[in-house]
Amino acid sequence: MRNDGMKSIIYFAPFVYAVFCALGLGYAQIQSKDRLKLAEDAKREGKVVVYVSSNASDAKALKAAFEKKYPFVNMEFFSSGKDALLSKYLLEARTGTYLADVYQSSVFPIMNLLEKGLLARYYSPEREAYIEALTDKDGYWNATYLNAVTMAYNTRLLKPDEVPTSYQDLLLPKWKGKMGFVLSHTEWYFAMLQMMGEEKGRKYMETLSKQNIQVRIGSSLMNQLMMAGEFPLLVSQYPTGVEEIKKTGAPIDWVPLDPWFVYPIGIAVTAKNSHPAAARLYVDFILSGEGQTFMRTLSRIPARKDILPNPPRLMQGRKLFVIKPASSAIYNKYNAEMLGYFR
């Protein structure tokens, strides 16, 4: 892997799409006709099956929003964790059972499906509203929302001016035995090695692993342990989850680090499916301004350039480091490395 991590940094700023006004009436009419034909074909199919790695409540909310706009298409879904979802789909593919029309999950398992030829190209007309790093150049997937990864802390145990301002601070002796790490956050390990370069990154991990870090699998569990006072600082955590817990008055907050690690949760049309038009209609809806605005109500970070999250500070003014996707072999290698350091 090349040490070009800093080239992945993108300055996020909202903008207004005046460009759509300049596309010309002819193109707009063609696009409108294409969309009407797609909707008509989807209506004849009457159904779309979505495999999604978000929780069931999010999936139900997306189903309700999609069916409200397109009542003639019944959305069926299966939701599970990203690893279990991938295993289910790969098992079905091996037996020639292709139930899913759309696959929605972290970009890393999506790369696994792409390698195996299980995804179809689809250049959604909505993809122009996304930065290049959040779309597949060959049209196989597009980001639906972003997961950010940063540090979180117990506000009863640490004051804002006491929290680390960089990952280098974590190597200081004062943090020994005072940190937790979510053992399933392989994406954080990717980000660190991509940002630092592999050689420096591994030296950093070796030093960090000697800081007596408490490790567990599960973001929610680690939040609970931190708030209970087991340790004051979490090395890696999702700030969106922290924001939800903060609403309950819990003693937790996150650190606005620079750069801001993010990776896409992607969406793709499967290569073998029974409802191709409905699948594309669903993808278009999720990527549209309407769909992304609804995604924000689910406490997700929208991937569209013109839709800010709630609260806006989750993205506004941040210097983004978009974690590059990798092959399944590289992902498994990095995951094993990370477990070797922290387990």
pLDDT for position 17 = 41
Q: Which pLDDT score is estimated for 2?
A: 44
In contact, 127 and 277? CB cutoff 8 Å: no
pLDDT at 304: 96
Sign of CA dihedral 189, 192, 196, 197: positive
pTM of the model: 0.86
142-154/252-254 β-pairing: antiparallel
Given a contact cutoff of 8 angstroms between Cβ atoms, the answer to whether 53 and 80 are in contact is yes
Give residues with Cβ within 8 angstroms of 220, minimum separation 6.
Answer: 241
- pLDDT tens readout for residues 251-274: 999 999 989 999 999 999 999 999
Identify the residue with better confidence: 115 or 27. 115
Q: Which of 262, 258, 263, 261 is nearest to 169 (CA)?
A: 258
The pLDDT score that the predictor gives to residue 5 is 45
Indicate the range of 21-35, 92-106, 232-246, 261-275 predicted with least confidence.
21-35
Q: How confident is the model at residue 166 (pLDDT cuts 50, 70, 90)?
A: very high
Residue 112 makes CB contacts below 8 A (sequence gap 6+) with 86, 90, 327, 328, 331
Listed residue (24, 51, 27) closest to 269, CA to CA: 51
Looking at residue 34, its pLDDT comes to 81
Measured from the Cβ of residue 25, the count of other Cβ atoms closer than 10 Å reads: 7
Average pLDDT on 96-106 reads 95
What's residue 27's pLDDT? 41
Query: What confidence tier does 1 reach under pLDDT thresholds 50, 70, 90?
Result: very low
Average pLDDT on 204-213 reads 96
Residue range 190-203: average pLDDT?
95
Tokens of 314: 């989750």
- What local confidence, expressed as pLDDT, does residue 8 receive? 52
Question: Is pLDDT at 26 greater than 70 in this prediction?
Answer: no
- The CA R_g of the chain, rounded to the nearest whole Å, is 21
- Residue 19: the pLDDT is 44
| C-alpha 99 chain-centroid distance | 23
- Write the pLDDT tens digit of every residue in 292-311: 999 999 999 999 999 999 99
- pLDDT of 159 > 90? The answer is yes
What is the predicted pLDDT for the residue at 31? 58
| pLDDT given for residue 9 in this prediction | 55
Q: pLDDT tens digits for 61-73?
A: 999 999 999 999 9
Q: Give me the pLDDT at residue 11, please.
A: 52
The mean of the pLDDT values for the chain is 90
- Write out the DSSP string of 147-170: EEEEEEEETTT--GGGS-SSGGGG
Give the three-class secondary structure for 2.
coil
Q: Among the listed ranges 33-37, 97-101, 253-257, 258-262, which one has the minimum average pLDDT value?
A: 33-37
The proportion of the chain whose per-residue pLDDT surpasses 90, expressed as a percent, equals 82
- pLDDT exceeds cutoff 80 at 111: yes
pLDDT for residue 35:
83
Q: How far is the C-alpha of 301 from the C-alpha of 294, rounded, in Å? A: 11
pLDDT of residue 57: 92
Q: What phi, psi does 119 have (nearest 5°)? A: -120, 150
Task: Calculate the dihedral angle through the C-alpha atoms of 107, 108, 109, 114, rounding to the nearest 10 degrees.
Answer: 80
pLDDT at 46: 95
